[in-house]
């Protein structure tokens, strides 16, 4: 099935109705902190994003995952996205950005890691135009091709297309489309490059140093747990007090009966 220009337009216009819980204008009113996470396939972005979520309380958003979820939803825009992807055509940047926007508004958070985005200059321009947001900084996980190939081929639960031919095609797409975006952000002083060939723990120590540079503190789980315990104790104390008050009033009422 060939996707017509009309269907591409419909996919884009359907995206304008995606964010039913808010609008672009409501996004401008929020003080969102956005960090883009870029790196080649197998560079370890996903692992480090999970660490950042755990230690810093960010919400992790993947443009690819959001597109796949929209397809699974069976919505009209999801159908258009599916047809475009089947034909090997690029999903309009506006569609991807609208999905990211909706996820941001629905999350209830104000700190976001956007993984694998922007993939190209068109993505970058669309995101900045539609959200009026520039990233605080861009994490670039710089990993050698040899190491990325090794990691992808050693994955226990790899993608269906994790073979050498498709892996190298993905490297080519990254080099042709995403590296220019990285170079552009580097000119703006936004890139924070990390040697992703190193072991996971060592890489995360470098990530933490970058977050510290921007004054982003780790979430204190101990304090959170203490507050939760204190809150529970107060509730139990209140229940006990109310129970005692009830007994006292019951005794007084019985005296007058």
Q: Which residues are annotated as a binding site for CMP?
A: 123
- Tell me the two tokens of residue 227: 């507050």
Spatial distance between the Cα atoms of 7 and 21, rounded to a whole number of angstroms: 25
Instruction: Find the Cα–Cα–Cα–Cα dihedral 125, 126, 127, 130, rounded to 10°.
Output: 120
Pairing type for strands 191-195 and 111-115 reads unpaired
Q: Which two tokens stand for residue 121?
A: 């200059």
6 touches 90 (CB < 8 A): no
Q: Per the annotation, where are the binding residues for ATP?
A: 42-47, 155, 198
Which pair of structure tokens corresponds to residue 106? Answer: 């629905």
Residue pointed to by tokens 């489309």 = 177
Binding-site annotation: residue ranges for a ribonucleoside 5'-phosphate: 68, 89-91, 116-119, 159, 170
CA distances from 129 to 67, 93, 94, 97, 124 (A): 20, 11, 10, 10, 9
142 DSSP β-pair partners: 195
In sequence order, what are the beta bridge partners of 60? 113
Q: Give which of 194, 180, 179 is closest to 43, Cα–Cα.
A: 194
Annotated binding site: 42-47, 68, 89-91, 116-119, 123, 155, 159, 170, 198
Closest by Cα among 68, 61, 97 to 85: 68
């Amino acid at each position: 099935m060939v996707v017509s220009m009309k269907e591409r337009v419909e996919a884009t216009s359907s995206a304008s109705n995606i964010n039913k819980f808010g609008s672009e204008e409501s996004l401008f009113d929020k003080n969102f902190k956005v960090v883009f996470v870029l790196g080649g396939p197998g560079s370890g972005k996903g692992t480090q994003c999970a660490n950042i979520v755990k230690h810093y309380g960010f919400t992790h958003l993947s443009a690819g995952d959001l597109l796949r979820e929209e397809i699974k939803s069976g919505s009209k825009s999801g159908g258009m996205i599916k047809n475009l992807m089947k034909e090997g055509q690029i999903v309009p940047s506006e569609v991807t950005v609208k999905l990211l926007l909706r996820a941001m508004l629905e999350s209830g958070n104000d700190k976001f890691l956007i993984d694998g985005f922007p993939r190209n200059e068109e993505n970058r321009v669309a995101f900045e135009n539609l959200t009026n947001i520039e990233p605080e900084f861009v994490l670039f996980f710089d990993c050698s091709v040899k190491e990325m190939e090794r990691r992808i081929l050693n994955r226990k639960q790899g993608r269906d297309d994790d073979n050498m031919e498709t892996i190298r095609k993905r490297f080519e797409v990254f080099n042709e489309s995403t590296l220019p975006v990285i170079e552009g952000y580097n000119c703006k002083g936004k890139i924070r490059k990390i040697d992703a060939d190193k072991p996971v723990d060592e890489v995360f120590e470098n990530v933490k140093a970058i977050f510290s540079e921007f004054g982003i503190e780790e979430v204190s789980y101990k304090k959170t747990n203490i507050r939760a315990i204190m809150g529970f104790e107060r509730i139990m104390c209140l229940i006990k007090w109310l129970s005692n008050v009830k007994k006292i009033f019951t005794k007084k009422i019985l005296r007058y009966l």
